[in-house]
Structure 1
Amino acid sequence: MTLPNNEKNHLFLGTFIHSKRLDELQYLHDTAICVNTTGKIVAIEPECDQSKAEASLYPKLGWTTHDVIVTAAKEGQFFFPGFIDTHLHAPQYPNVGIFGKSTLLDWLNTYTFPMEASMASLSKARKVYTRCVRRTLAHGTTTATYFATIHVESTNLLADLCLSMGQRAFIGRVCMDQLGPDYYLDESAEQGLAATRANIAHIRSIDRDFELVSPIITPRFAPACSADMLRRLGDLAAETRLPVQTHVSENVSEIALVRELFPDSPHYTGVYEQAGLLGDRTILAHAIHLSDEEADLVARRKAKVAHCPCSNSAITSGEARVRWLLEKGIDVGLGTDMSGGYSPSVLEAARLACLVSNHLAMPNKQADGCSQSEKEKSKLSVEEVLYLATRGGAEVVGLSSKVGSFEVGMDWDAQLIGLDMVSEEAVDDYTDDGGNVEIFGWETWEDLVAKWLFNGDDRNTKKVWVRGRLVHERRS
């Protein structure tokens, strides 16, 4: 059963910034947003302060002043939708920043599989998962799409923790019956399916309608799954209509391995298509080296892509062509992909998405004979990467009608961002309590957002709400 959100209604006052469309941020200044006890936005009123809200909005909503919590943004603060992390590995959190000099497949055997296998210990899993959820919430991640491990009990624990701490989450028990070490594999495709069903049943028992926490069918990636395992999971996806997450075309050596293991498939994406795993609720992480044929297939099936620029750079897998994917009609969100990625911050993923797109546009970059003007189109703007971090991510995880922007009827998944205002009196009083973003007073709002994107961190995330429930507050 989902935990209750609030005992009181909420009034939020100040500046609200969200994506109107891919290339446009909307700035709502001097605005009031009313959120009811179920965590839904029930009114948005421009040019409204607390007194006007009490006089005009409260009577319409049947509210009285004593049952409303008021949160007003201060100078240098604004409200922004919660971030949506479309791809991360909770059990790998202790390995963040430890990717060595290895490529993908070596890295899995050296760092990843041993750490994931150790999550069989519930005490260790509790320690790791609690810290992972708290850290991502502190960075403004209100929705997280988690890969867990092959273990049913510790995967169930991750779901319990997300529910109790209030993070919206998709929890996937990892399925893998080949490629991994002997100590970390499903015994068979049949056993892997049964374990996945057990995880689904547990999540349904704690959140019947998957309002906050949902299971997600999770074949690790094609090389780690037999054809039998993939087919069984495809049948399960068709039966349950649950979302699916996996990896695709992350690394050239991985693609070669898929070709060797699945010689009857036309390409990597075709393996998932043949198994019935490619559909409108499928999230494909990375998609760096997709062919035109594969991308067209992904678009036809309305599958989604989780772009992970941090891990793709750290493990030297390659640079995903996000503009190309978007122009194909494929929805794209951002993933931190810890621990291939070194940061739990979606904001960091957004800034790196900008930089990776700039690399694709550089004059010396080989790009299949593209002209320089065509390569310039690869570059992503501040507005575009923040769309990917919020509204785009909501499309990827199938929650675009609930989260990702500020509209009446949507859930209040939001963060209060505070930037350090440099005053004349305190100009010599240096402190880092406010973070790296320093505001001098002459910046435009577009400047403020750009400075936050490229310099911000969790010190700027003052408060975080999920479905109207306060789930994180920075004390310092």
Structure 2
Amino acid sequence: MASSLEGTHQLFYGSFIYSKSLDQLEYLHDAAVAVSSAGKIVAVERECGGKDKALEKISSRLGWGSDATTGFSKEVYETGEGQFFFPGFIDTHLHASQYPNVGIFGKSTLLDWLNTYTFPLEASLSDPAKARKVYSRVIRKTLSHGTTCAAYYATIDVPSTNLLADLCLAAGQRALVGRVCMDQLAPSYYVDESPEASLSATRESIAHIRQINPEGDIIRPVITPRFAPACSAPLLTKLGQLAAEMPGLPIQTHISENKGEIELVKELFPPESTGAKDDSYAAVYDAFGLLTDKTILAHAIHLTESEADLIQQRKAKVSHCPCSNSAITSGAARVRWLLERGIVVGLGTDMSGGYSPSVLEAARLAALVSRHVAMGGDETAKLSVEEVLYLATRGGAEVVGLEDKVGSFEEGMEWDAQLVGLGVLGEDGQVEGQEEEDGNVDVFGWESWEEKVAKWVYNGDDRNTRAVWVKGRLVHERK
């Protein structure tokens, strides 16, 4: 496969699949997508009549030559049998600093798990060498699973947080990178000294991220109160003021993940002390100015009707994390219930509460968890293959504020994409064109495209992700 060249236009030809709406996928075959040197989709041609015709049509339409010196003939990518281009996945919630702990849940509840496993690991990443090792790996691993954009929590350490942003930018992965704010409910060795110190450190990290990527097209800072119980009222006040001062910045935090946590919020933030309209988790964030149209709320499992109404009114978004919700036995989020209330939902891997870096895994688990909700009495709760793929792409794009840039293959969007390859079997039952079988998805040849996609959702993994692009740049290729 050719590698992306700086300043070179690219043509992608073959099969393209993306979400047209929540419950409908668009299938394009014998199609071509032209991508400019800036990584933007500048033309989409359907029913081309073959790759050569596609090249001719695009060249004529855009005035691009097709020879080696003036055009993009060296940058033509074509899907093979069983392959298709699909938008890159958006991971709307994960802790980069916790990646080494994936699969390690212990037998404790959420709050005990934080003290036993999470805080010691995060604190240890003040060691630059250790932080580089962890962050480099999580970036490579998520890219290999087709994640073109990730909303990362780092640690309270400024140099470690800044390093994560540096590494994301170098690797070409879009990212929201947040320095974690917390001044209570944590061990003395891993807590901000004061609300003032937390705000100062947060400003320092924001300034660094804006310096390394002033346009914010790849890396953006995000205000990150860990969750309400870990922040004092004065700290939440200062972070709300920061959000008002910098209205373009996203905010990320947790909400209603665990019933014990919800009770703790009520105890720590009574309405008479915060001015909140009630003692709900959402009302607390709202009282401090942290519930906005740029807020990403992870989990949202146990929301009340009034909380859902408030979140919808403020246009805050939800990151659904079915893997960690199940692994830590937090509960089953009612995604259909959220969607019906007009709340935007994306998917998060939530490592290391979640055990997998794959948004595709999160999509299949979102489908399964929705069936458990349905078995509890709400038959309408079930999510289809089409719907979970929407959450993984267009839904996630809206959660992180990129809905006008990524998530589909329409003109004007940017080329954040993955080349997916499924194993097509020959007459002998072996995968054609390969000495060894590669991947867990077997295509026998009689499946419809809808069935192939369903097989990918329920059986696929990183072995099916052949290549990944972010803004037109090739950032991962499976050899």
* TM-score normalized with structure 1 length: 0.95
Say if 1:170 and 1:182 are closer, same or farther in 2 by CA, change over 3 A: same
CA distance in 2 between partners of 1:152 and 1:203 (Å): 11
Deviations 1:109-130 (A, max 9, x none): 0000000000100100000000
| Distance apart, 1:426 and its partner CA | 5.1
Contact 2:423–2:431, Cα closer than 8 Å, also in 1: no
Q: Map 1:59-458 to 2 at 5 A.
A: 59-65=60-66, 66=68, 67-68=71-72, 69-241=75-247, 242-264=249-271, 265=276, 266=278, 267-362=280-375, 365=376, 372=377, 375-425=378-428, 427=430, 433-458=437-462
Deviations 1:31-52 (A, max 9, x none): 0000010000000000123322
Contact 1:6–1:39, Cα closer than 8 Å, also in 2: no
SS in structure 2 opposite 1:285?
A: strand
SS in structure 2 opposite 1:55?
A: helix
CA distance in 1 between partners of 2:420 and 2:56 (Å): 28
CA distance in 2 between partners of 1:432 and 1:384 (Å): 33
| Distance apart, 1:284 and its partner CA | 0.2
| Distance apart, 1:263 and its partner CA | 1.4
CA distance in 2 between partners of 1:312 and 1:271 (Å): 22
CA distance in 2 between partners of 1:311 and 1:14 (Å): 36
Tell whether 2:19 aligns with 1:13: no
Query: What does residue 369 of structure 1 align with?
Result: none
Aligned length: 462
Deviations 1:49-103 (A, max 9, x none): 3322332211332322223100000000000000000000000000000011111
Contact 1:419–1:437, Cα closer than 8 Å, also in 2: yes
CA distance in 1 between partners of 2:412 and 2:17 (Å): 17
Contact 2:22–2:390, Cα closer than 8 Å, also in 1: yes
CA distance in 2 between partners of 1:229 and 1:310 (Å): 30
Alpha-carbon RMSD:
1.4
Say if 1:234 and 1:5 are closer, same or farther in 2 by CA, change over 3 A: farther
Contact 1:437–1:455, Cα closer than 8 Å, also in 2: yes
Deviations 1:454-474 (A, max 9, x none): 000000000000000000000
Deviations 1:117-170 (A, max 9, x none): 001001000000000000000000000000000000010000000000000000
CA distance in 1 between partners of 2:90 and 2:330 (Å): 23
* TM-score normalized with structure 2 length: 0.95
* Structure 1 letter corresponding to 2:101: N
Query: What does residue 368 of structure 1 align with?
Result: none
- Identity over the aligned pairs, expressed in percent? 67
CA distance in 1 between partners of 2:82 and 2:331 (Å): 37
Contact 2:425–2:431, Cα closer than 8 Å, also in 1: no
* Structure 2 letter corresponding to 1:20: K
User: What runs of 5+ residues in structure 2 fail to find an aligned partner?
Assistant: none
Instruction: Flag as ranges the 4+ runs of structure 1 deviating above 4 A.
Output: 428-432
Contact 1:463–1:473, Cα closer than 8 Å, also in 2: yes
Contact 2:13–2:54, Cα closer than 8 Å, also in 1: no
Tell whether 2:59 aligns with 1:55: no
Say if 1:410 and 1:125 are closer, same or farther in 2 by CA, change over 3 A: same
| Distance apart, 1:313 and its partner CA | 0.1
Say if 1:86 and 1:428 are closer, same or farther in 2 by CA, change over 3 A: closer
Contact 1:83–1:140, Cα closer than 8 Å, also in 2: yes
* Structure 1 letter corresponding to 2:134: V
| Distance apart, 1:428 and its partner CA | 9.5
CA distance in 2 between partners of 1:12 and 1:381 (Å): 28
SS in structure 2 opposite 1:269?
A: helix
Query: What does residue 32 of structure 2 align with?
Result: 32
CA distance in 1 between partners of 2:197 and 2:436 (Å): 52
